[in-house]
Structure 1
């Protein structure tokens, strides 16, 4: 019996021999090796607005806000080093400093003025030992195309954020397509890099992508795909906000277009798209969210031929939708979307009363009238009687009298 107790004690001692205040001693040492470059690694997340810095009081690095450990093994699994450098000039990272953290799953390095890696000490050094690394955030730094070959060796990556760097239009030998070697990559953010329209063809080989962000990437004019291998079959989310896109061209249809059968979220807000955009969406039958905020939509819209039976969220606000036939053209088109839950829409001109018959499944409605003087734009609250599930109602610029309002004051959900 005593021998069994002795054996258990020896096991406990052997497991704890590498621990230092809850951390593995070698990993605690490695954290302080990072401190000259990430000064605030042992500080709590600072209050950036009030410029308040609070140092960690615990000597247990696993209790620090910027460090997350496995609760059983006490190995470091996540490093949250966003905005943790006090350097305000460009500097080069020695990525091999992360090698001691063999169970590392996530590294967040957002906003640290990093311009590249030390020669022969790039991210490729991590590929052999950090085989659990799935999430890497390098956004809001100063990385350029020279880092791509190094990143392409991190085969375990599932999420890569390169937004807000200085990647540019490139030739086939140093372009974003080098990252297509990352066969497990599911989420890619390239927003805020001036990549141009060619980026779409360069990304065609990313077969595992589920979410892609190309916001503010200098896309312009017509988005035509010369030839597609249809490797975006798994893509569920596509964000193209803040470009200068005038037409989706053959991006989503035609024999060259991407066959995005699983696309559920499409953001096209803050572009130059006109009413013809709807004809480009006919094959996106699984779309659940469509954002067309602040484009060039004008007059009436027609959704005939669209198969958006699963669409739940639609944003048409910030456009010039108008016309005396608002009910019969615009709203009747929207009414063909049977599962719509959220609708945002602005009306630039209308005369008469607007009603919403046919949109009985709405849960949230945000509607604003921007009619100029002389255009009487009213709203029929009686039509809301057909909205048993409505929970949120926002109306701006409409003529709604107190009597009409009182008649709807007892809606059970609002």
Structure 2
């Protein structure tokens, strides 16, 4: 492949290049075999701009982009020679994600690509970053090395790229403190160092220098200590901030004269940050997503969200210490919600009669709610994909016959006191993957009510009072991988067809 591209070059082909192209089928075939992919089946045509994964300029004379995602399936690392890309003087984007690349031979050849703006090597197998940090690269705009196995400290040589705007090093094994030179990379708009092992004090001073930053993601590291969100107050372009799941204690008050947020965030993620209080500015200065799970929020829901009208689409305050009832007009306070997660608190009382009909994910599990599931949840939420009401004290029937949740994929109602028969109304939910209604008080014959759900993967009905024979129709659910009917009153023989369901065989 690389040799074939080399013969194509990035300029108008000359006769010498054409002659080489005619003899290039053998190297191309060898590379094709190495990748174990059919993506290169059209690489024998003379017009290289028509090759899969190659994009040229409008005149079809210069290769500007090479994009080969997830084409090499071999388990052993691959070490392509970087010199084979050096011919493409006008190359602007080189993307090779998910190809088990372990590194490059002659990495310094990338310096010949004076117009390279984007280098995407994510989800490869690069361990040693020392042969990747090639120093100053004036044209580079985006560098994505996420999802590799990079080890060691934040490299000094990266800081030479003062014009870099997007740096993504997430999902690696980098450790130590953040290099102070990061504060000089003032052109950065996106910095993602999440899911590494960076430690020490949070680099507040360095971050405050990044005045052009728009997206800052430092979650899932080992940073320690107490910080205030005032550190970010003057970053007026900031729209996404994620410092969740470190070892931080974050003070969220930002209403003093010396600490007033100049930004308007779309996303704030402070999960596991020992946050103790919700402040009104969060709803005035955050337009889309607020993630506050695994914190120390306390008190009634109403006192935390009183007089709040928000356009948030995602609110996650799961696994805190909130209590009390939910307001009946919660849908008015949060009319735009698509994702609401209140699980793992101590909320009680009846569920509100109405939630936003735009909800795609509703998780109220692991609380102390009681009473029946509101009719609006059963019948008026056509967008709902995930419904989690498990580990409460809910009673009454599951779903009436006229219920309709056509897009539902995950249903978790286990460990309540729900009664009645298996809800045949779920026959309208043909996208279901998981049904978990174990440990309730459901009864009746499964053969009469269990519908055929062709995409169902997991069905857990244990700990109820179902009776009768195991219905033959379960054999029609070919994607079913887990079926748990234990602790019921089922009787009779297991259908012979079970032996023919290959997805159930180990």
Q: TM-score range by the shorter chain?
A: 0.5 to 0.7
Aligned to 1:343: 340
| Unaligned 5+ runs, structure 2 | 1-10, 65-90, 409-506
Q: Number of residue pairs matched?
A: 352
Q: Secondary structure at the match of 1:123?
A: coil
**Deviation string, structure 1 residues 163-219 (Cα, Å, up to 9, x no partner):** 335353257xx4421322xx2x22111222424443132111112211111112323
Aligned to 1:205: 209
Residue 176 of structure 1 pairs with residue 182 of structure 2: yes
Aligned to 2:245: 242
CA pair 225-341 structure 1, distance change in 2 beyond 3 A: closer
Please say which of residues 91-100 and 188-197 is displaced more in the overlay.
91-100
Question: By how many angstroms is 1:104 displaced?
Answer: 2.2
**TM-score (norm. length: structure 1):** 0.67
Residue 104 of structure 1 pairs with residue 116 of structure 2: yes
Contact 1:134 1:159 in 2 (8 A): yes
Aligned to 1:215: 219
Residue 405 of structure 1 pairs with residue 399 of structure 2: yes
CA pair 152-317 structure 1, distance change in 2 beyond 3 A: same
CA pair 351-407 structure 1, distance change in 2 beyond 3 A: farther
Aligned to 1:137: 144
Contact 1:300 1:321 in 2 (8 A): yes
CA pair 54-378 structure 1, distance change in 2 beyond 3 A: same
Contact 1:116 1:144 in 2 (8 A): no
Q: Secondary structure at the match of 2:326?
A: helix
Contact 1:42 1:56 in 2 (8 A): no
Q: Secondary structure at the match of 1:176?
A: helix
Taking CA–CA contacts closer than 8 Å with sequence separation of 6 or more, which of the two structures ends up with the larger relative contact order?
1
State the distance in 1 between where 2:34 and 2:342 align.
39
Contact 1:303 1:334 in 2 (8 A): no
State the distance in 1 between where 2:331 and 2:204 align.
30
Contact 2:313 2:337 in 1 (8 A): yes
Contact 2:234 2:263 in 1 (8 A): no
Cα root mean square deviation, aligned: 4.3
Question: By how many angstroms is 1:386 displaced?
Answer: 10
State the distance in 1 between where 2:16 and 2:281 align.
57
Aligned to 2:82: none
Aligned to 2:350: 353
Question: By how many angstroms is 1:235 displaced?
Answer: 1.0
Aligned to 1:78: 93
CA pair 113-363 structure 1, distance change in 2 beyond 3 A: same
Q: 2:128 aligns with which of 110, 114, 120?
A: 114
**TM-score (norm. length: structure 2):** 0.57
Question: By how many angstroms is 1:259 displaced?
Answer: 2.0
Aligned to 2:294: 294
**Deviation string, structure 1 residues 276-316 (Cα, Å, up to 9, x no partner):** 1x127447424311112333344523334776633121122
Contact 2:291 2:317 in 1 (8 A): yes
Question: By how many angstroms is 1:385 displaced?
Answer: 8.7
State the distance in 2 between where 1:409 and 1:215 align.
40
Question: By how many angstroms is 1:256 displaced?
Answer: 4.6
State the distance in 2 between where 1:295 and 1:386 align.
33
Aligned to 1:364: 360
CA pair 365-55 structure 1, distance change in 2 beyond 3 A: closer
Alignment of 1:5-404 (within 5 A): 15-17=12-14, 20=17, 58=43, 70=57, 72=60, 73-75=62-64, 76-82=91-97, 84=99, 87=102, 95-110=107-122, 111-117=125-131, 122-124=134-136, 126-127=137-138, 131=139, 133-139=140-146, 140=148, 141-142=150-151, 144-145=153-154, 147-148=155-156, 150-163=157-170, 164-169=172-177, 174-180=180-186, 183=187, 185-191=188-194, 192-224=196-228, 230-249=233-252, 252-257=254-259, 259-274=261-276, 276=277, 278-279=278-279, 281-282=281-282, 284-298=284-298, 300-301=300-301, 302-304=303-305, 309-322=310-323, 325-328=324-327, 336-346=333-343, 348-349=345-346, 352-357=349-354, 359-360=355-356, 362-371=358-367, 377-384=370-377, 391-392=384-385, 394-397=387-390, 399-402=394-397
